[in-house]
Amino acid sequence: MIEAPVLVRVENGVGRITLNRPGALHALTHRMCLIITAALRDFANDPAIGCVLIDHAGERGFCAGGDIRMLAESGAGDGEAAKGFFFDEYRLNHLMFVFPKPMVAVVDGVVMGGGVGVSDPAKYRIATEHTTYAMPETGIGLFPDVGGGWFLPRLPGQTGVWLGLTGARLKSADTVGLGVHTHFISSTSLDAFKADLLSGESPQAALARHAEPAGPSPLIDRREAIDRLFAFNAVEDIVAALQAEGGDWAQAQLAALKIKSPQALKVTLRLLRQGAKAASFAENMALEYALAGRVVRTHDFQEGVRAAIIDKDHAPRWSPADLAGVTPQALDALFAPLPADQAWTPLA
């Protein structure tokens, strides 16, 4: 018997959603997005439900992203399946963002890409010592979507730009320090925390009992450099600033940027600067939807997925091969608004 990829149930007034694809690190499929959306709509309309808990089965991590292989296969054709996935995934992200009841997301382990999209909108976001957080999309020719255009530029200083461009991985001390996650709970205390929550205790009371200090943030010593070196509006200027900075840390950032898709880097920086000015989360998601439907059909996304998950040679051949080759005109085409009858809209 094949288990459902998402487990949905109600326990003592708590709507519980458990990601249940441990063999795939709970990577989100279109079906999973639809299941979660339907569950949340039911929970929102049920007066007996006071809050929602989102967690995962198994011990390998919360969610490693989305169904990248499907997106690449669709993008190699007419792209319609990819656009359908993005449309419904982004509706789920937005539903979570505006959800009328407290939502608790427990991210015990890897949380990347699509996993960020189904945890960052929650009111209470709980990290553990196992948490590893990243938005690594520039490494496969994509960009930090699922609300990345909204959340990343609203992190302190330029840390969101740094994360989005380099794909840097953070542990819980840093994610809590930056406000990505609201609380830290040791993995050994998670079962007790969930038991209290599922017994009908409020999230605030359960957190007051079980949350602990996340510890000092190693990133704090890099904040001045990040804010200064990643403050530019052109990727070329960021690269030049890092080159002029010198030192091991700056060289490590340059090395990280060097292996990313030049197109994806420029798309990401422009998205984050525009997202910072968005008047609403929905406005940002409409921008991301128009962008995503085009980017999955580009050479760099196809090549990035080939190198990362199909051939696994980890040697993508980007085109254009350098930042200078990514023209303003090419970016304008990717960012152009969609006609009204094709544009993304939130759920009514």
Please give the positions annotated as active site. Answer: 66, 114, 137, 145
Indicate the residue type of 331.
Answer: L
What are the two backbone dihedrals, phi and then psi, of residue 338, each rounded to the nearest 5 degrees? -80, 155
Asked if residue 267 lies in contact with residue 291, where contact means CB atoms within 8 angstroms, the answer is yes
Asked if residue 269 lies in contact with residue 284, where contact means CB atoms within 8 angstroms, the answer is no
Beta bridge partners of 127: 107, 184
Helical H segments across 203-327, by residue range: 203-210, 223-229, 235-245, 247-258, 262-276, 281-295, 299-305
Q: How far apart are CA 201 and CA 203, in angstroms?
A: 7
Could you give the 3-state DSSP secondary structure of residue 134? Answer: strand
Structure tokens at 187: 């993995």
Q: At what angle do helices 190-198 and 203-210 cross, to 10 degrees?
A: 160
Stated as kind and residue range, the H or E segment containing 63 is: strand 61-63
Could you give the 3-state DSSP secondary structure of residue 291? Answer: helix
Structure tokens at 52: 């929602």
Write the burial class of residue 123 (CB in 10 Å: 0-12 exposed, 13-18 middle, 19+ buried): middle
Structure tokens at 331: 């970016």
